[in-house]
C-alpha cells in the first residue's frame, strides 16, 4: 500500500480514490468479449458509433479454476531448468501455498497463465539450445532481438478490428505512444484502446466535446469513468503531480452549447485539424499530451498497469497517419556484453547472513533491475555476501519477456521466479515466498522487503539494525492507525468480507520493511498450516500476521523510522521510493561524491 501526497500538503492513506459524487453515466456501448484460449489474448469488439441507447451488455466472464493439471505441470520435475538459472529455489516450496481453498481470488488465473507461460518458456529454451548446439550462431542472434525499443506503423487502416500496433514486450514507465491523426470533418467520436489483461479506453467525443477515460477488466467489468472537462470531486486529484484534466479544457462547462466556437478553441482535438497526441506512462498513471500541451491524466488501476499492455487499438471517425511507441522495455544484451563480474550476485558462504533483501519486481522492468545492480547492490556488504539481494518475479504473459528474464537470471544469479503471473492481487504470496527464501534457502537474521523502484542505503540500514532486537521485530515506516479503503475501483479497495473491521493492525509500508527471522518462520509455518489468512495488500497482510505473532508467540517490537520515505525523496534517508532508473543511478553517484544522502531532484 502506498501513501500519496496531495497537492495541498496533507497526506492520507486513502487518497487515490477516484470515486466521484456524480452519478455514473451509463455507457452506451455494446461489446462482445472473447477470451481466447489460444494465447490467452483478450479480443474486444466494441461497436461504439451508432449507439446512443441505454443497452449495456455485460461481457462474458470466464471463471479461472485452479486445475490439478496446471499445478502438476508447474511443479513437475524442473531440475534441468533449475540447474541452468537457479531461479526456482523458492518455486519448489510454493505448491502447498497455492492449493489453499481460501486462495486469493486471482490465484486461479495467475496459475493457469503461469502454466501456459512456462510451457512457452520451456519450448523457447529448448529451441535456443538446439540452435546453439547446431553451431549456427546466426540463428541464436536472430532469436535475440525480441523486445524492440521502438515500433511504429504509418497510414493506418482502421476498417478492421485488429490492433493497429502490437507491443511485443509491453510498456514500462517512461514509455510513450504517439498518434498523429486528423479527425474527420463530421466525426462524432474516436477512441484509443490499450489492450492487455484488460482494456484501457481513451474516448474523444465531438458531439459533446469531452474526453472519457475508463478501464475494463474481466473481474470488475467497466470501472468508473473519468470525464474531462471534469466536474465534481476528482477535480483536485493529482497523478504524478499532474491534474486529471487540463484546467483550460475544464472551463468548458456542460451547460455551454456544443457548437460554441470559442469553447471549441479550448478543446484539444478539432475536427479536420491534424493533431499529435502522446500518451506517456508515469509512475502513478498515464498522461495525454496533445499538440504539446498536457490534457489528461489517469491513475493506473489493477490489471491495467503498463507492463500488462500488449496492443493498441484505434477506432472511430479519424484518419490515422501514424502510431509509434518509444522507450519500450529493452533488456541489456547479457550474452554479447561480457557480464561485469561485479554485477553478478556473489556466492554465499552457506552460514546465516545478516540480511536478505527481497526486491519485488516484474517481468519487463529490465532497466530498474539493472539500475539497482549498478547502484546500491554494489555496497561492500552486498559484494562480500553478508547481505544478499534477490529479485522476486512472477512469470509474464508474454513468452519473449519470460525468455529475456530467464537469460537475465542466468547472467546475474539474483532472480527467483514465482509459479504464478505477477498480478497485484497475488503480491502477498510473494511475501510468503520471501519468508521461505529467508528461512529455508538463504537463512538470514533479518529479512527485508522492498520494490524495484526503491533505493536502499544498506550501510545506514545495517548501522541502524545493530541496536535493534534480533527477534520479534517489525522495522520500517509504520502505520499505527489506518483503515481499509472502501472505494471500489481503487487499487487498495477492500470488501467488507475481506476485512470486516474498521481499522488495520499496525503495518509497515511496502516499499521497505524489515522483519526478524522468527517472524518469517512464523509466517511460513502459519501458511503451511493455514492458520494465517491471505490478504491481498501484502504490507497490511504482514501487519495482520505479525499481530497474530504478537498474540500467540511473543510481544512484537514495532519500530517506526521516518527515514523510510514512502513517496519521493528527502535527504538523510535510509530508503526512498518512486525513483526511476536514472534517479537511482544519480543517488548512488551522489553518495559516492558527497558521502551524504541527498536527493537528486
Ligand atoms: C458523446 O456525448 C453525447 C452527449 O453527452 C452522448 O450522448 C454520447 O453518448 C457520447 N458518445 C460517446 C461515444 O461517448
Ligand atoms: C501485542 O501484545 C500486547 C500484549 O502482549 C498488547 O498489549 C498489544 O496491544 C499487542 N499489539 C498489537 C498491535 O496487537
Ligand atoms: C560526481 O562527481 C563527478 C566528478 O567530479 C561529476 O562529474 C558528477 O557530475 C558528480 N555527480 C553528481 C550526481 O553529483
Picking from 34, 25, 24, 29, the residue whose alpha carbon sits closest to that of residue 56 is: 29
302 CA to middle of ligand 2, Å? 34
C-alpha cell at 506: 499496525
Q: Residue 120: which of 421, 350, 502 has the closest Cα?
A: 421
Whether pLDDT at 154 is above 80: yes
Q: How far apart are CA 514 and CA 1, in angstroms?
A: 16
Q: Pick 150-326's CATH classification: 3.40.190.10, 1.10.10.10, 3.30.70.100, 2.60.120.200.
A: 2.60.120.200
**505 Cα: distance to centroid of ligand 2 (angstroms):** 10
Helix pair angle (538-552, 517-528), 10° resolution: 100
Q: Are 420 and 429 in contact (CB under 8 A)?
A: yes
Least confident of 277-291, 460-474, 507-521, 541-555: 277-291
pLDDT at 225: 86
Q: What are 56-77's pLDDT values in tens digits?
A: 334 455 666 677 788 888 888 7
Cell of 400: 519473449
Any idea which ligand is nearest the CA of 592? 3
**What does the pLDDT read at residue 291?**
93
Number of CB atoms found within 10 A of residue 236's CB: 11
CATH 3.30.565.10 for the 20-127+332-594 domain, yes or no: no
8 Å CB contact between 419 and 87: no
Distance of CA 293 to the CA centre of its chain: 27
**pLDDT attached to residue 29:** 25
The better pLDDT of the pair 112, 77 is held by: 112
Rounded mean pLDDT of 527-534? 91
CA dihedral 451, 508, 420, 500 (to 10 degrees): -150
Which residue has cell 480514490? 17
Q: Which of 573, 599, 429, 463 is nearest to 511 (CA)?
A: 573
Looking up cell 515506516 gives 477
How buried is residue 153: exposed, middle or buried, by Cβ count under 10 Å (0-12/13-18/19+)? Answer: middle
- 8-state DSSP, 376: G
How far, in Å, from the CA of 472 to the mean position of ligand 2?
12
Q: Is the pTM of this model over 0.95?
A: no
Task: Give me the mean pLDDT over the 574-594 stretch.
Answer: 93
| Band of residue 85 on the pLDDT scale cut at 50, 70, 90 | low
Comparing C-alpha atoms, which of 146, 584, 89 is closest to residue 370?
584
Residue 336 pLDDT level (bands cut at 50, 70, 90): low
Ligand 1 atom, smallest distance to 206 CA: 1
How far apart (Å, rounded) are the C-alpha atoms in residues 213 and 164? 19
Q: What are phi and psi of 156, to 5 degrees?
A: -80, 135
Length of the chain: 601
- 342 burial type by CB count under 10 A (0-12 exposed, 13-18 middle, 19+ buried): exposed
- How deeply is 496 buried, as exposed, middle or buried, from its count of CB atoms within 10 A (0-12, 13-18, 19+)? exposed
Q: What atom in ligand 1 is closest to the CA of residue 212?
A: 14
Find which of 73-77, 254-258, 308-312 is predicted with most confidence, using mean pLDDT: 308-312
Least-confidence region, from 58-72, 178-192, 533-547, 568-582: 58-72
Does the pLDDT at position 265 exceed 70? no
The DSSP result for 327-368, as a single string, is: S------TTTSPPPGGGSPPPP-SSPEEEEEEEEE-TT-HHH
State which ligand 3 atom lies nearest to the alpha carbon of 589: 13
Which residues are bridge partners to 202 per DSSP? 192, 213
Please choose, from the candidates 36, 35, 39, 38, the residue with its C-alpha nearest in 3D space to the C-alpha of residue 398.
Answer: 39
Q: What does the block give as the cell for 152?
A: 511504429
Q: What is the pLDDT of residue 231?
A: 67
Separation of CA 549 and ligand 2 centre (Å)? 10
Q: Which of 231-240, 274-283, 453-462, 469-478 has the lowest mean pLDDT?
A: 231-240
- Decide: helix, strand or coil at residue 122: helix
374, 579, 593, best to mutate for ligand 3 pocket (most atoms within 8 Å of CB)? 593
Provide the grid cell at 564: 523510510
Would the pLDDT of 6 be above 60?
Answer: no
Which of 134-143, 165-174, 470-479 has the least mean pLDDT? 134-143
The 10 Å Cβ neighbour count of residue 540 is 25
What pLDDT sits at residue 5? 32
pLDDT digits (tens, 9 = 90+) for 17-36: 333 222 222 222 222 222 22
Per-residue pLDDT for 302 more than 90?
no
Which residues line ligand 1 at a C-beta cut-off of 6 Å?
Answer: 28, 48, 52, 189, 203, 205, 207-208, 212
Model confidence pLDDT, tens digit, residues 337-386: 566 778 999 988 778 999 999 999 998 899 999 999 999 999 999 999 99
Please check the confidence at residue 8 and state whether its pLDDT lies above 60.
no
For position 204, what pLDDT does the model report? 94
Give the confidence band of 37 by pLDDT, cuts at 50, 70, 90.
very low
CB contact set of 260 (below 8 Å; sequence gap of 6+): none
- Share of residues in the chain with pLDDT > 70 (%): 81
Q: How confident is the model at residue 251 (pLDDT cuts 50, 70, 90)?
A: low
Confidence of residue 499 (pLDDT cuts 50, 70, 90): very high
Domain-by-domain residue ranges, the chain? Answer: 20-127+332-594, 150-326
Radius of gyration, CA atoms only, the chain: 24
The average confidence (pLDDT) of the chain is 82
Q: Work out the number of other CB atoms within 10 angstroms of the CB of residue 529.
A: 9
Q: Best substitution site from 52, 187, 206 to test ligand 1's pocket, by max atoms within 8 Å of Cβ?
A: 52
CA-to-CA distance for 243 and 66, rounded, in angstroms? 41
Phi-psi region of 476 (alpha: psi -120 to 50; beta: other; left: phi over 0): left
pLDDT at 54 over 70: no
DSSP reduced 3-state for 145? coil
Residue 428 has pLDDT above 70, yes or no: yes
Omega before 18 cis (within 30°)?
A: no
Q: φ and ψ at 167, to 5 degrees? A: -110, 95
Please check the confidence at residue 124 and state whether its pLDDT lies above 70.
yes
Q: Return the pLDDT at 81.
A: 67
Amino acid at each position: 500500500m502506498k501513501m500519496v501526497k496531495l497537492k495541498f500538503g496533507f497526506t492520507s492513506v486513502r487518497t487515490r480514490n477516484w470515486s466521484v459524487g456524480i452519478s455514473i453515466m451509463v455507457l452506451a456501448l455494446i461489446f462482445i468479449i472473447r477470451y481466447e484460449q489460444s494465447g490467452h489474448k483478450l479480443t474486444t469488439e466494441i461497436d461504439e458509433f451508432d449507439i446512443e441507447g441505454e443497452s449495456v451488455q455485460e461481457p462474458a466472464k470466464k471463471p479461472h479454476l485452479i486445475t490439478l493439471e496446471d499445478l502438476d505441470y508447474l511443479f513437475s520435475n524442473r531440475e534441468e531448468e533449475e540447474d541452468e538459472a537457479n531461479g526456482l529455489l523458492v518455486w519448489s516450496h510454493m505448491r502447498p501455498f497455492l492449493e489453499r481453498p481460501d486462495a486469493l481470488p486471482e490465484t486461479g488465473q495467475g496459475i493457469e497463465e503461469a502454466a501456459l507461460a512456462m510451457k512457452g518458456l520451456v519450448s523457447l529454451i529448448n529451441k535456443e539450445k538446439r540452435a546453439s548446439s547446431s553451431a549456427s550462431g546466426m540463428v541464436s542472434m536472430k532469436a535475440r532481438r525480441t523486445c524492440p525499443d521502438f515500433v511504429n506503423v504509418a497510414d493506418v487502416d482502421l476498417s478492421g478490428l485488429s490492433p493497429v500496433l502490437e507491443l511485443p514486450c509491453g510498456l514500462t514507465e517512461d514509455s510513450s505512444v504517439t498518434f498523429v491523426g486528423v479527425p474527420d470533418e463530421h466525426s462524432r467520436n474516436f477512441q484509443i484502446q490499450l489492450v492487455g489483461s484488460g482494456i484501457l479506453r481513451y474516448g474523444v467525443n465531438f458531439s459533446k466535446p469531452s474526453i472519457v477515460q475508463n478501464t475494463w477488466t474481466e473481474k470488475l467489468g467497466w470501472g468508473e469513468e473519468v470525464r474531462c472537462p471534469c466536474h465534481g470531486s476528482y477535480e483536485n486529484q493529482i497523478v504524478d503531480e499532474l491534474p486529471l484534466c487540463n484546467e483550460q479544457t475544464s472551463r468548458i462547462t456542460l451547460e455551454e452549447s456544443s457548437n460554441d466556437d470559442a469553447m471549441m478553441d479550448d478543446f484539444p482535438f478539432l475536427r479536420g485539424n491534424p493533431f499529435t497526441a502522446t500518451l506517456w506512462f508515469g509512475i502513478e498513471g498515464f498522461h495525454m499530451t496533445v499538440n504539446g500541451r498536457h490534457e489528461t491524466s489517469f491513475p493506473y488501476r489493477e490489471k491495467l498497469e503498463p507492463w500488462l499492455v500488449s496492443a493498441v487499438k484505434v477506432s472511430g471517425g479519424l484518419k490515422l497517419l501514424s502510431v509509434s511507441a518509444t522507450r519500450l522495455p529493452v533488456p541489456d544484451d547479457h550474452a554479447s556484453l561480457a557480464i561485469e563480474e561485479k554485477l553478478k550476485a556473489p556466492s554465499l558462504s552457506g552460514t546465516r547472513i545478516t540480511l536478505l533483501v527481497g526486491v519485488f519486481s516484474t517481468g519487463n522492468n529490465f532497466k530498474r533491475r539493472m539500475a539497482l545492480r549498478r547502484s546500491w547492490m554494489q555496497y561492500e556488504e552486498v559484494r562480500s555476501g553478508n547481505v544478499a539481494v534477490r529479485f522476486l518475479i512472477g512469470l509474464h504473459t508474454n513468452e519473449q519477456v519470460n525468455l529475456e528474464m530467464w537469460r537475465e537470471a542466468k547472467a546475474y544469479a539474483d532472480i527467483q521466479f514465482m509459479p504464478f503471473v505477477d498480478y497485484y492481487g497475488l503480491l502477498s504470496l510473494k511475501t510468503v515466498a520471501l519468508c521461505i527464501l529467508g528461512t529455508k534457502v538463504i537463512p538470514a537474521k533479518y529479512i527485508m522487503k522492498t520494490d524495484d523502484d526503491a533505493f536502499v542505503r544498506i550501510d545506514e540500514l545495517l548501522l541502524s539494525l545493530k541496536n535493534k532486537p534480533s527477534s520479534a521485530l517489525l522495522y520500517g515506516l509504520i502505520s499505527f492507525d489506518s483503515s481499509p479503503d472502501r472505494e471500489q475501483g481503487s487499487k487498495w479497495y477492500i470488501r467488507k468480507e475481506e476485512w470486516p473491521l474498521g481499522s488495520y493492525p499496525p503495518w509497515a509500508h511496502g516499499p521497505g520493511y524489515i522483519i526478524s527471522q522468527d517472524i518469517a518462520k512464523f509466517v511460513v509455518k502459519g501458511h503451511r498450516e493455514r492458520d494465517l489468512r491471505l490478504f491481498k495488500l501484502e504490507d497490511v497482510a504482514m501487519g495482520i500476521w505479525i499481530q497474530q505473532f504478537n498474540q500467540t508467540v511473543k510481544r512484537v517490537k514495532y519500530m517506526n523510522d521516518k527515514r523510510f520515505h514512502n513517496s519521493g525523496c528527502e535527504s538523510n534517508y535510509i530508503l526512498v521510493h518512486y525513483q526511476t532508473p536514472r534517479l537511482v543511478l544519480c543517488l548512488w553517484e551522489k553518495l559516492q561524491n558527497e558521502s551524504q544522502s541527498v536527493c537528486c531532484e
